Structure 1
Amino acid sequence: MSASPLFRVRAVLFDCDGVLVDSEPITNGVLRDMLAERGWAMSADECLRRFVGKTVRSQAALIEAHTGQPFTEDWLQAFYVRRNARLAAELQPIDGAVATVQAVHARVGGRIACASGADLAKVQMQLAQVGLAALFGAHVFSGHDLPRSKPFPDVYLKAADALATPPADCLVVEDTVTGVQAGVAAGATVVGFAPAGQAAVHTEVQALREAGAAHIITHMRELPGLIRV
């Protein structure tokens, strides 16, 4: 077995959902329920495949086509309310994420950021809920607040700029093809996270590699050992 690579970096930029917090099954469960109420029934796996790594708003045309009903701001806000209630009741950190962020924070002298495609209030709520908010401080960013979200690089470029670190000196940690594409487009080195035991893990690993991930980890505890400063 070959040794894991070492990446010389000055800063580490984390995605949130699926990397730091196990929110995707919860969020997609609420979305699946609300779409079923509008006549679009699908399995949990299909809902994840269609929507993971994407904002609900960006899929408005798809939702309208399958439900035959208009995508409205009121419906989206109702989704946010139901989603946040479920997250508040059920959210847990990804296994090993808290210890990993603590270790990485120490290794790179605090130069870490969270750069998500989700809305900022949700990201901040989730980080606080799992005990990570203090480690990231003000360096939490959302693609919702920028002209373009993932797979465009904007949120990673903003995070790198806030840390006064060139993107080429940043390591991005992502679990979706959309996110990997964003990190690569920003000019960062990207580590893909594909948890062992997830559905169709081999397909996911290949997809992350094809999107440009330089290395794949299957548990968050592997990350600190990849970083050389």
Structure 2
Amino acid sequence: MKFEAVLFDCDGVLVDSEPITNGVLRDMLAESGWALTPAECVRIFIGKAVRDERALIEANTGQPLTEAWMAEFYARRNRELQARLVAIAGAHEAVAAAHAHAGQRIACASGADRFKVEMQLAQVGLMDWFAGRIFSGHEMPRSKPAPDVYLAAAAHLGAAGARCLVIEDTVTGVTAGVAAGATVWAYCPLPEQGAVLRHAGASQLFERMDDLPELLARV
């Protein structure tokens, strides 16, 4: 079945932002009294909006999650991303192949805030592919793992959820794509993570983003 639309997550799929963002978050949580290892920080927060984990953060720091704290997090995160961010290897080729496969109907549907998504795509030279077709979970009634952001992207492109392909890399994102009725393929550079992504509903795993063009050619 040829897909009517291809919907990409952003962080960890198109841009290698997650180690940077999680490093800033871990530093700030440590400064607030909650020490986490890098692996613990990734396990708890990957694929999620920081605000959605307010209760957990407040319970472990003993402090309220204030707007001032969030503003500092965004500022520090953005500085580090602007200094260090690169595209996932093969992302440009993957996006071009999806664009051709779906007759230009592609979108970026992220759980992150719009400023971050647009900044990142522009920084790595992907914005032209997605301009006008960027969707943020922060602007939806519910963010991932709810399907809202993927349903909004599919509706904008005039595609039925069941005829969409979602490209994700986290359990949270895979869950959202499946809930939207889409086929979900998971970018999984670490094979040991494959079982949990399969369990969440990913029907295809691939270890390199530049494998995606060949996979689409087989559909």
Moved over 3 A (4+): none
From 58, 71, 75, give the equivalent of 1:77.
71
Which position in structure 2 is the counterpart of 1:64?
A: 58
Map 1:1-229 → 2, pairs under 5 A: 7-195=1-189, 198=190, 201-202=191-192, 204-227=193-216
Amino acid in structure 2 at the alignment position of 1:19: V
Percent identical: 61
- Take 2:102 and 2:212, find their aligned partners in 1: how far apart are those partners? 13
- Take 2:9 and 2:121, find their aligned partners in 1: how far apart are those partners? 11
- What TM-score, normalized to structure 2? 0.97
- Take 1:30 and 1:220, find their aligned partners in 2: how far apart are those partners? 26
- Take 1:150 and 1:38, find their aligned partners in 2: how far apart are those partners? 26
Most deviating of 38-47 and 139-148? 38-47
Amino acid in structure 2 at the alignment position of 1:208: L
- Take 2:99 and 2:89, find their aligned partners in 1: how far apart are those partners? 17
CA deviations 1:162-184 (Å, max 9, x no partner) are: 10111111000000000000000
Which position in structure 2 is the counterpart of 1:4?
A: none
Amino acid in structure 2 at the alignment position of 1:88: Q
2:135 is paired with a residue whose SS is strand
CA deviations 1:122-181 (Å, max 9, x no partner) are: 000000000000011100000100100000000000000110111111000000000000
1:227, distance to aligned residue in structure 2 (A): 2.1
CA deviations 1:4-42 (Å, max 9, x no partner) are: xxx521110000000000000000000000001011111
- Take 1:70 and 1:171, find their aligned partners in 2: how far apart are those partners? 39
Aligned Cα root-mean-square deviation (Å): 1.0
- Take 2:20 and 2:201, find their aligned partners in 1: how far apart are those partners? 28
1:107, distance to aligned residue in structure 2 (A): 2.3
2:41 is paired with a residue whose SS is helix
Question: How many equivalent pairs are there?
Answer: 218
